[in-house]
A and B are shown apart, each in its own frame.
Chain A
């Protein structure tokens, strides 16, 4: 028997084929991905459980950009600028 007092599981009421409503307990989704430097919320990264992300195509899981899914757009721009100016 699960301890549902701490609300770690999500409560979902569903109608059974017999017509009666039944309580089902489901696991919650993970939180949004954050940037590795500035800790802002990353865009283009879905927030789903692993069994759903596993069946998604690669392009749907992160943006098409170097450091996509790791750094936000601002941080990646800054990184490329620093690299080019260090070469000069």
Chain B
């Protein structure tokens, strides 16, 4: 009676009253079902078999069962499995005290001095220089600097700055040579 391809109706659970198909026999008690219900193992006690059977292979996929149910005139609903949500861990009073002691040693902001120095060094090494940024962006875009010549010509030649004498600066004392008499 309980064979692969046998139609059945679920009696217990939140899927009760819905039609399903036996996909695989796991045990004397348990059976794998699929169809209008969720794809899962089920106890034989919670199933009421029907007279109808369907031609399906062992461990048939959900899509194959969908097509077989369409011929019978039954609609199969697709459901997504729920994502597991990580619950925040609650610490007891003793564990909280341990955590607070460790944080105090590390510092106010939760990091030790060594960790801060290491992080600063890593950040400086990871920073790309200005030349690298320009060249990498241009290479990615595939653009050539056609205006590169113009840019150089447009730039005004910088004249060397003259040393401007400031009034507030003291001039060095100049020794006058006395004429030999």
> Could you list which residues of chain A lie within 8 angstroms of chain B, going by C-beta atoms?
64-66, 73, 76-77, 80-81, 83-85, 87-88
Contact = CB atoms under 8 A, between A and B. Distances in A.
Interface in B37-83: 48, 50-51
A81 B16 contact: no
Contact of A73 (B12, B17, B51): B12
A81 B17 contact: no
A51 to B, nearest CB: 29
A77 B11 contact: yes
Contact of A84 (B12, B13, B14, B50): B50
Interface residues of B, number: 10
Interface of B: 9, 11-14, 16-17, 48, 50-51
Nearest to A85: B48
B9 A84 contact: yes
Contacts of B9: 80, 84
B101 to A, nearest CB: 39
A80 B50 contact: no
Contacts of B13: 65
Nearest to A64: B14
Contact of B16 (A65, A87, A88): A65
26 contacts: A64-B14, A65-B13, A65-B14, A65-B16, A66-B16, A66-B17, A73-B12, A76-B16, A77-B11, A77-B12, A77-B16, A80-B9, A80-B11, A80-B16, A80-B17, A80-B48, A81-B11, A81-B48, A83-B17, A84-B9, A84-B48, A84-B50, A85-B48, A87-B50, A88-B50, A88-B51
